[in-house]
Amino acid sequence: MFNPQLNTEGNLKHLLTIEGLPKRILNQILDTAETFVGVAERDIKKVPLLRGKTVCNIFFENSTRTRTTFEIAAKRLSADVINLNVGTSSQSKGETILDTVDNLIAMHADMFVVRHAQSGAAHFIAQHVPDGISVINAGDGRHAHPTQGLLDVFTVRKYKPDLHNLRVALVGDVLHSRVARSEIHALTSLGVPEVRVIAPKTLLPVDVEKLGVHVFHDMKAGLKDVDVIMMLRLQNERMSGALLPSAQEYFKTFGLTQKTLNYAKPDAIVLHPGPMNRGVEIDSSVADGSQSVILPQVTYGIAVRMAVMALLGSGYPSSLQAAGGQPSQTGQPSVGGGNGVNSNTGGSA
């Protein structure tokens, strides 16, 4: 079956969605990311894989955290980076998306990192770029956020290496969350046997069970014997109408507190894609607590985005090793260390 993300040799040429990607590609990205984890610990935090390449961050939707980590990832690969401020660019003067992209192609850009409020925007751009230029979807509407899904699974794998024996629960606004869709596709494709979603009915897509998940509307039942808890941000900017009685009521029923965390396994880990709404989705005592791996998510996100860019821009493992990437020797990290991220900071995942 034709997959627009793969070239004729079956290698990655764009990263638009996790859905439909072969398991070997997902493992290849995660394994390659392992070789980049240690780069951040060097005195010189660079490898020359994308030297001479130009990466354009085209964010039609506000973001701080995602755009910054993509920029850091590209610079650590020695690429030249252009951050296009769409709010002050020709887009605000009526220029179409393709006109913007065509002008960047004329400037010999090699890779586009695209975020857009409309689902399918990255696919649309990928259909119109010439061979040799790659497109990475950094989030499109409610549809997908593949690098976030990959970095979350990478984080899980670091702390819980045996994915085939895990119960994972996603808690919160699944309906509006592109992160949730990407996480579900990644987890099920990599063999996690049980993925649960816990949310009020108003925040679940119709027929969500078709994604291969078990649905719960109660935290006690949903978190029972869970190994991994992935909290989701309330996507208030994408909601229309009164889907929730109030933020306080939501936190009372679906917020992650120390009490509700105790329903899961004693060694369960807690993730959140950020930005967090403390006191709405998660209590600070949990976000900053011993079972939180929220800050390591951010650290590993750079390594995962480096891996995606390296595979798209410079080839495959032989060229990566030649450039000095080595598997991480850090082993399984310790849990905890907290987050310290203020609520409502950064860009939306």
Tokens 């403390």 belong to which residue? Answer: 278
How many percent of the chain have pLDDT more than 90? Answer: 75
The token pair that represents 170 in the structure block: 């996603």
The pLDDT confidence band at residue 343, using thresholds 50, 70 and 90, is very low
Q: Which amino acid is at 99?
A: D
CA diameter of the chain: 57
Q: Is the pLDDT of residue 287 over 50?
A: yes
Return the pLDDT at 97: 86
Return the pLDDT at 248: 87
96 or 87, greater pLDDT: 96
Give the Cα-Cα-Cα angle 97, 103, 106 (nearest 5 degrees). 140
Residues 181-197, mean pLDDT to the nearest whole number: 98
The pLDDT confidence band at residue 271, using thresholds 50, 70 and 90, is very high
For the beta sheet containing 111-116, the strands, ordered from the edge strand earlier in sequence to the opposite edge, are: 80-85, 54-59, 111-116, 134-140
Tokens 């970095």 belong to which residue? Answer: 151
Asked if residues 240 and 180 have their Cβ atoms less than 8 Å apart, the reply is no
Buried b (16+ CB within 10 A) or exposed e, 98-135: eebbeebbeeebbbbbbbbeeebbbbbbbeebeeebbb
307-325 pLDDT, tens digit per residue, is: 999 999 976 555 555 455 5
84 or 73, greater pLDDT: 73
Where are the alpha helices (H) located in the chain, listed in sequence order?
23-36, 65-76, 97-106, 121-128, 146-159, 178-189, 219-222, 247-254, 258-261, 284-287, 294-314, 317-322
Q: Look at 63-77, 184-198, 244-258 and tell me which has the smallest mean pLDDT.
A: 244-258
Q: Is the pLDDT of residue 79 over 50?
A: yes
Set out the domains of the chain in order of their start, with CATH numbers. Answer: 23-143+298-322 (3.40.50.1370), 146-294 (3.40.50.1370)
Return the pLDDT at 187: 98
Q: Which amino acid is at 161?
A: P
